[in-house]
Amino acid sequence: MTTPLLRGLNPEQLAAVTLPHESALILAGAGSGKTRVLTTRIAWLIQSGQASPSGIFAVTFTNKAAKEMLARLGALLPINTRGMWIGTFHGLANRMLRAHHREAGLPALFQILDSADQLGAIKRLLKALNVDDEKYPPKQLQHFINGCKEQGLRAQKVEAFDPYTRKQQELYAAYDEQCQREGVVDFAELLLRCHELLLHETALRRHYQSRFQHILVDEFQDTNHLQYQWLKLLAGEQAAVFAVGDDDQSIYAFRGARVGNMADFERDFHVKEIIRLEQNYRSHGNILDAANALIRHNQSRLGKNLWTAEGSGEPIRVFEAHSDYEEAGFIVDEVKALQREGIPLSGIALLYRSNAQSRVLEHALFNAAVPYRVYGGLRFFERQEIKHALAYLRLIGNSDDDGALLRVLNFPARGVGARSLESLQEIARSEGVSLWQAAQLKRLGGKAGVAIQGFSALVENMREACAALPLAEQVEHMLEQSGLLAHYKNEKEGADRLENLNELINAAAAFELEYSREAGEEDVDPLTAFLSHASLEAGEHQAIAGQEALQLMTVHAAKGLEFHAVFLSGLEEGLFPHENSSREKDGVEEERRLMYVAITRARRRLYLSYADSRMLHGQQRYGIASRFLEELPPSLLKRINRDSAPQPMQRPATRAESAGASGWHIGQAVSHPKFGPGIIINSEGRGADARVQVSFSHAGVKWLALEYARLEAV
């Protein structure tokens, strides 16, 4: 049967779209047209009479993807897509539960708790049961409950080998009872309750198995244990499951995604042949060849090889910087060069492994007046944990700052409720004083009064201690004493926030050194100046809606997107791959998949950069290039020489006393604590700008700034 529907499909796409009634695994590489294949498959089944619109069940992960699928389908066929079962896992589970709420044991108008609502419900539960929320932090309990549900486990089935887990198990059971009593369900409950509904209601299960003879799944590599079990239950023995995914782009293990579901699917559904969509319509050949070479180092993969008919294109540019500041300066200059070539800022992306890396990059863009937008996240100085930290610093500098006090008086929680806060505000209004001054009147009694006095003493102690400390150490002291570090350490997903708080120490160190060199500012103390700097960077150069802007984002946030040019920064061991990956099973393989995703975001030009030294936790650290760079074929790379690169933004000198180039000479044997033995082969600059080039026996040739090089003569 020839039809306009199939025109323009390549042979592999055509084979996938026109498969007979059998379960199939479609390995769809990046940029291979998987959404087109998925929607065309649905249209083909309907047009050829193999299925009615009501007999199709198609599931994906985001509302955006589901809407796009429906829109494309409506453009392909003259049908009403309104009643079709096409949506997200949670959306379709909700629809089924609404239709069968009695069988599911739910009220007709059950309400759904979002993440914030669920956390509030857990806090209420702990309070009602008089449970210490410091020993059992609400967010940690939320993570435990959702993790159990995503594994398909009710409280009574959770294995508890220690008293702490047994208590969490009890609280999980109590939480379920509370939700049932109130007629509410959380997101994880939607799918678990729907799975249980189909499992226990035989007639209902057979009805849906008979109705949905064709089940299609998008982004199959991102499914977790429960989602896979639900699909197996819904499919039964007769349905054909069309699973589209890419095991090389499975990067959400931290959310529960299980890449092994793809191999299990091949076995469980007796897949005869895997169809590989390998022709890429996005990137030039050199970019794809680099991605292919990289991902081959992963052992547990189904295997495919991306190719394009578009030609090889330009080589991949690699830049080694002395420091993270030089790296940022290089990126800014290259972005401006791309603009001069006519590439719009919206077609350029700057990617990084961790959110904390954005601070130095944002600073460079701010100074260069390059508009940018942080995609899928907040600018550094706008992030919640940074705003909390800045509020404490504002109070240290000015205790009458009511806005700062209101933000952190009860964060981390110290027992000051809304009613007590209202009473404090009323005292302040009646006396015509600030909230801080009202607190010193000591008119509030009880637990809240004690907590407020304890908070006042905390701020006073921090102010006294910080008076004699350099700015970066003030920030470090405040983070420890305020309880912010301890608070986020207790959060299951607080690692990113801790990285951002540590980056705030770096920001303070860099600012203080920059600030000390500026003239005419002697009358303003460094803390006040730093707070002003933070406010300015948070509030200016923000790209307004519709304005051309450079796109900044983590690699995770970049999945599914594509850009004319991509910069991938921070390619150092410990950053990318992340240091945590070595402690996790298959951690490095997932990091390599993440790198694969980053590379395949680029259409025409790709820049990879790393720095020999980087500020971490307020101190200069030396790193080595990521192993992933070594896994790329040298023939695909063009290494940009520092001398030929645009002049970088200079990192401010450190407080350490400069050794001066005169203390060293070419040919001198030296030793470095990180790089080992070496020979000085070149030198330049004087005083704070002095640096030497060293040929190390094991680490190659590197430029080192003498101020913090820690070289020793041998």
For the question of residue 584 being annotated catalytic, the response is no
Assess whether 209 carries a catalytic annotation: no
- Cβ partners under 8 Å of residue 710, min gap 6: 672, 673
Q: Are 475 and 508 in contact (CB under 8 A)?
A: yes
Respond yes or no: is residue 320 known to be catalytic: no
Which residues 6+ apart lie within 8 Å of 39 measured at CB?
A: 69, 72, 73, 76
How far apart (Å, rounded) are the C-alpha atoms in residues 683 and 706? 10
Catalytic residue among 150, 219, 246, 327: 219
Contact (CB, 8 A) for 119 and 127: no
Cis, peptide link before residue 526, omega less than 30° from 0: no
Nearest to 506 by CA among 333, 652, 702: 652
What is the C-alpha to C-alpha distance for residues 305 and 30, in angstroms, rounded to an integer? 11
CA torsion, points 502, 508, 509, 514, in degrees to nearest 10?
A: 150
Task: Dump strand ranges (E) for 248-369.
Answer: 274-277, 316-323, 348-352
Could you say which DSSP state residue 650 is in? Answer: P
Which among 301, 407, 592, 601 is annotated as catalytic? 601
Rg of the Cα trace of the chain?
Answer: 29
Tokens read off for 165:
């887990």
Instruction: Spot the catalytic one: 34, 139, 193, 603.
Output: 34
To which residue do tokens 């794809």 refer?
288
CA distance 407 to 644: 48
Taking the alpha carbons at both ends of the chain, their separation in whole angstroms is: 80
What are the b/e assignments for 240-266, b being 16+ CB within 10 Å? bbbbbbbbbbbbbbeebbbbebbeebb
Q: Which of 40, 209, 223, 249 is catalytic?
A: 249
3-state secondary structure 457-512: HHHHHHHHHHCCCCHHHHHHHHHHHHCHHHHHHCCCCCHHHHHHHHHHHHHHHHHH
Cα 514 versus chain centre, distance: 30
Is residue 324 part of the annotated active site? The answer reads no
Is 140 a catalytic site residue? no
Confirm whether 34 is a catalytic residue.
yes
User: Does residue 693 contact residue 703 with C-beta atoms inside 8 Å?
Assistant: yes
- The Cα–Cα gap between 194 and 665 comes to 74
Q: Which residues contact 306 (CB under 8 A, 6 or more apart)?
A: 29, 30, 31, 32, 278, 279, 280, 283, 288, 291, 292, 600
Measured distance CA(326)–CA(332) in Å, rounded: 10
Which among 643, 567, 606 is positioned nearest to 317, based on CA atoms?
606
- Sheet strands (E) in 214-369: 214-217, 240-245, 274-277, 316-323, 348-352
Task: Catalytic residue, from 150, 186, 189, 218: name it.
Answer: 218
Query: Which residues belong to the active site?
Result: 34-35, 218-219, 249, 601
